[in-house]
Amino acid sequence: MASKSGSSIMKKVISFIRNVAFVALVLFICFIIYTMSQGNTISIAGYRVLRVLTSSMEPTIVGNTCIITKNVDVDELEVGDIITFISEDPSIYGYYNTHRINEIVEEDGARKFVTKGDNSSEVDPYMVSESNVVGIYVKELPGGRLIGKAFVALSDNKVYFAVIIIPLILCLISYFWEIVGMVTGRYSDEEDEEEEESSEEADENSPKAVEEKRSEEADENSPKAVEEKGGEEADKEN
């Protein structure tokens, strides 16, 4: 009985941890989606996922796709590397831009990078300082083009709310309710009753129980038992 109780507690603990982990994962995904929809990114172990909006780097990087970049030591950068940087171009000032290093120059004792899009015939008008380098291009995110199209669709607030927010809210409510039930012990009585019922059914169907039941039926149908039963019925008639 003690082992059954311990097993039941362990199952509840595992279920609780699993539900909390799922809720945390869903909230984290929501945070990433919201962050990217605002044009920002978060770094995880030095890696970032960015959405390229334009076709300036085609055919190397297709417009409206998602890419992966990683942190880099600016001293290791060379001509030909594709970097993501915070642009100082007034038209996109403060936003991320991803272009290829076309030239490295020394200015006032510091290195600066002249960048250029693969799909452009001219270099960018504003050089990139070392402090504005965000990372180096690694590769296109698997399914990045499809994700890019999804972000375009989700830019419509109505679509975003219907496809993302409502299902997530319902899912989170369901999991929070289950977690609350586990914490308060609301499900414990029901689970104990179910375990007792299943245990009783198992006992009834066990080989020993079946053998005892057959033995009782055989005893009831034995000649002696039949004779005694007939005698009892005769006594009742008299």
Q: Is 150 a member of any domain?
A: no
| Residue ranges making up the domain that contains 168 | 2-36+158-184
Buried b (16+ CB within 10 A) or exposed e, 176-214: eebbeebeeeeeeeeeeeeeeeeeeeeeeeeeeeeeeee
Q: Is 216 a member of any domain?
A: yes
The rounded percent of the chain whose pLDDT value lies above 90 is 29
H/E segment holding residue 49: strand 47-52
Domain boundary among 90, 118, 144: 144
Could you tell me the maximum CA-CA distance found in the chain, to the nearest angstrom?
128
H/E/C letters for each residue in 138-149? EEECCCHHHHHH
Q: How many domains does the chain have?
A: 3
- Whichever domain contains 84, its CATH number is 2.10.109.10
Same domain? For 77 and 101 the reply is: yes
Q: Is 236 a member of any domain?
A: no
pTM for the full predicted model: 0.56
pLDDT digits (tens, 9 = 90+) for 98-112: 999 999 999 888 899
Same domain? For 128 and 113 the reply is: yes
The rounded percent of the chain whose pLDDT value lies above 70 is 60
Counting every residue written for the chain, the total comes to 238
pLDDT for the residue numbered 87 = 93
pLDDT band, very low/low/confident/very high, at 226 (cuts 50, 70, 90): very low
Same domain? For 11 and 59 the reply is: no
Cis before residue 59, ω within 30 degrees of 0? yes
Same domain? For 68 and 137 the reply is: yes
Q: What angle do CA 215, 216, 221 make, to 5 degrees?
A: 95
